């Protein structure tokens, strides 16, 4: 398929300057499979992502992610939980341009900074052919982002996080090279956009500091376990046999058994016997041959060839004891269980095959997206989409024509709403649920996601194979993004709770 859906933000997809510092490029990572015109809801594929270069046009090298977040709050000196409300009649008189609109701890935010940020976002939305939100919504979200960045930067300074000039020069050089420009040409473009080199470097350095602080505080702490990946694949893709994806252990054991209610003296004797067997078998080349010979002389001892077993079919005691044991090695300690004392040898171990393929159902789909707007009820939007669906099903109008005319996803609307082939587990969860009950030619009920209301049409379906490695790679990326989203929001809330934020006119406080 050309593109895979993902929880990219509707208004603007962005990756902060961490990518500038770590990868030395300015880019917006759409995280999709290769597709000339990406869909704002596309997900990272298991194989690759599309990197879109972004021209640096102002004091902030990174674009601003504008996503309504009702959980974010402003903390005033009295610690009242409030939200900034933008006055729609903001004075744009040049005399008012440097008015202070907020004091964040020790730092001020001016109206000029807000206007610059809004202008940058508007321009980048337009270049990306994205719908520009209403002015008051855009200003409110940009204002909140400026507040967040101010808090982060001051916290980073408190931690003495600095970007020295040589390192900043190196990053800028690589940014210019990424755009096939010399440093001189790159800085000339900055000046054409009305910014001095000094101001650009100041803000660029600030962005990198914020990004590194965020990486240290949030991103480096996000961990993903193999169990989470397996659960994700099984839940989203619907694999019925997760054991096939696990490592196989081939163990053999000699057991010195214990009877119920064993006395302390019998327990000591059994332990001594097990230790003697362990010492003896350590020097034996063939574990099973020795074990089988042993049981002929000691009728109480048992031997068992466990064969290849996945870890879900082995006792946890055995798994823990064999954690770092290689094939052909004896487990160096006796394992005690209610059954007795176990002497174990790892005869072999097999990693799951990364080339093993699994069968999945893919759907070729297109969509109509209607974004949420102030004053428009969800019921009205649903009624509108159901009307579109009924027209399509009655064959009085083509779905593609409706998408081209009415869909507010500008990237897919021009392609008659076409998204492409979508695999389970690689789209929004809401899409997966809807697609599971649709067949070729059918149209979904209105679907609510964080991006708005969608209508999906299934053009065709097919069964295909993907490798386990591809599924795991995608699952890891998707889980990481979900965890980062949650961790980042929690982190921002904590920062705001400990900050002092004083809003000034024309902004007011909504208790």
Q: What is the pLDDT along the chain (511 residues), one digit of tens a residue?
A: 333 333 332 222 232 333 333 333 223 223 323 333 333 333 333 222 222 222 222 223 333 233 333 332 222 222 222 334 444 444 456 566 678 899 999 999 998 889 988 988 888 777 766 677 788 888 888 899 999 999 999 999 998 988 999 889 988 888 888 888 999 999 998 888 777 889 899 988 999 999 888 888 888 788 888 888 888 777 766 544 545 557 889 999 999 999 888 899 999 999 999 999 999 999 998 999 999 999 989 988 999 999 888 888 889 999 999 988 999 999 999 999 989 999 999 999 987 665 566 677 889 999 999 998 888 898 999 999 999 999 999 899 999 999 999 999 888 999 999 999 988 767 777 888 888 888 899 999 999 988 889 999 999 999 887 777 777 877 787 788 788 888 888 999 999 999 999 988 766 544 3
Please indicate whether the domains covering 247-350 and 358-467 agree at the CATH topology level: yes
The pLDDT of residue 469 is: 77
The pLDDT of residue 63 is: 30
In the DSSP assignment, the letter for residue 219 is: G
The pLDDT of residue 473 is: 78
The pLDDT of residue 259 is: 86
Vertex 395 angle, CA 392 and 401, to 5°: 55
Tell me how far apart the alpha carbons of residues 408 and 371 are, in angstroms, rounded to a whole number: 7
HSE-CB at 318 with a 13 A cutoff on CA atoms is 22
**61 near 203, Cβ under 8 Å?**
yes
The pLDDT of residue 335 is: 95
The pLDDT of residue 391 is: 93
For residue 395, is it left (φ>0), alpha (ψ between -120 and 50) or beta? left
| DSSP line for 393-450 | HTTSS-HHHHHHHH-S-HHHHTTTTEEEEE-TTSS-HHHHHHHTT--TT-BPPPEEET
> Does the global pTM surpass 0.75?
no
First to last CA, the chain: 48
Instruction: Please name the residue that has the structure tokens 């020295």.
Output: 164
Residue ranges of domains in the chain: 12-223+488-510, 247-350, 358-467
Comparing C-alpha atoms, which of 104, 112, 134 is closest to residue 122? Answer: 134
The CATH number given to 12-223+488-510 is: 1.10.4030.10
Displacement of CA 186 from its chain's centroid (Å): 32
Q: Token pair for residue 152?
A: 């982060």
Tell me how far apart the alpha carbons of residues 56 and 42 are, in angstroms, rounded to a whole number: 24
In the DSSP assignment, the letter for residue 324 is: T
The CATH number given to 247-350 is: 3.10.50.40
Instruction: Please name the residue that has the structure tokens 């690589």.
Output: 174
The pLDDT of residue 57 is: 26
Tell me how far apart the alpha carbons of residues 99 and 50 are, in angstroms, rounded to a whole number: 41
The pLDDT of residue 136 is: 82
The residues, ordered by sequence, that sit 6+ positions from 357 with a Cβ below 8 Å of its Cβ are: 465, 466, 467, 468
Spell out the alpha helix ranges (H) of 26-84: none
**42 near 31, Cβ under 8 Å?**
yes
CATH number assigned to the domain with residue range 358-467, chosen from the 4 options 3.10.50.40, 3.40.50.720, 3.40.50.2300, 2.40.128.110: 3.10.50.40
């Amino acid at each position: 398929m050309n593109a895979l859906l993902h929880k990219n933000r509707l208004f603007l997809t962005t990756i902060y300057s961490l990518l500038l510092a770590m990868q030395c490029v300015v880019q917006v990572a759409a995280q999709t499979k290769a597709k000339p015109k990406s869909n704002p809801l596309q997900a990272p594929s298991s194989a690759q992502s599309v990197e879109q270069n972004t021209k640096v046009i102002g004091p902030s090298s990174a674009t601003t992610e504008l996503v309504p977040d009702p959980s974010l709050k402003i903390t005033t000196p009295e610690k009242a939980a409030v939200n900034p409300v933008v006055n729609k009649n903001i004075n744009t008189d040049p005399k008012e341009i440097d008015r202070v609109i907020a004091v964040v701890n020790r730092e001020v935010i001016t109206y000029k900074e807000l206007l610059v940020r809004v202008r940058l976002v508007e321009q980048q939305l337009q270049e990306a052919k994205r719908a520009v939100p209403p002015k008051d919504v855009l200003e409110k979200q940009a204002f909140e982002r400026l507040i967040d960045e101010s808090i982060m930067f001051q916290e980073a300074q408190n931690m003495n996080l600095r970007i020295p000039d040589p390192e900043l020069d190196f990053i800028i050089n690589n940014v210019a090279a990424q755009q096939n420009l010399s440093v001189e040409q790159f800085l000339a473009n900055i000046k054409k956009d009305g910014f001095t080199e000094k101001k650009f470097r100041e803000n660029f350095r600030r962005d990198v500091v914020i990004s590194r602080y965020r990486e240290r505080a949030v991103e480096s702490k996000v961990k993903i376990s193999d169990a989470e990946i397996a659960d994700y694949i099984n839940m989203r893709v619907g694999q019925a046999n997760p054991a096939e994806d696990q490592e196989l252990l081939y163990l053999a054991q000699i057991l010195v058994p214990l009877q119920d209610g064993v006395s302390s003296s019998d327990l000591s004797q059994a332990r001594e016997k097990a230790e003697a067997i362990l010492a003896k078998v350590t020097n034996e080349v063939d574990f099973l041959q020795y074990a089988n010979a042993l049981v002929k002389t000691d009728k109480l001892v048992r031997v068992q060839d466990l064969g290849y077993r996945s870890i879900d079919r082995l006792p946890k005691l055995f798994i823990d004891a064999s954690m770092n044991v290689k094939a052909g090695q004896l487990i160096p300690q006796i394992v005690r269980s209610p059954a007795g004392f176990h002497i174990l040898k790892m005869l072999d171990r097999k990693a799951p095959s990364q080339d093993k393929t699994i069968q999945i159902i893919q759907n070729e789909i297109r969509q109509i997206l209607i974004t949420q707007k102030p004053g428009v009820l969800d019921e009205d939007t649903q009624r509108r989409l159901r009307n579109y669906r009924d027209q399509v099903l009655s064959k009085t109008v083509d779905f593609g024509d409706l998408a081209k005319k009415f869909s507010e996803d500008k990237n897919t609307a021009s392609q008659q709403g076409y998204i492409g082939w979508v695999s389970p587990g690689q789209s929004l969860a809401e899409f997966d649920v809807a697609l599971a009950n649709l067949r070729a030619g059918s149209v979904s009920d209105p679907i609510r996601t964080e991006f708005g209301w969608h209508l999906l049409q299934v053009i065709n379906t097919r069964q295909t194979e993907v490798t386990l490695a591809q599924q795991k790679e995608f699952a890891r990326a998707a889980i990481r993004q979900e965890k980062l989203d949650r961790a980042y929001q929690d982190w921002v809330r904590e920062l705001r709770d400990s900050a002092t934020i004083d809003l000034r006119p024309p902004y007011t406080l909504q208790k």
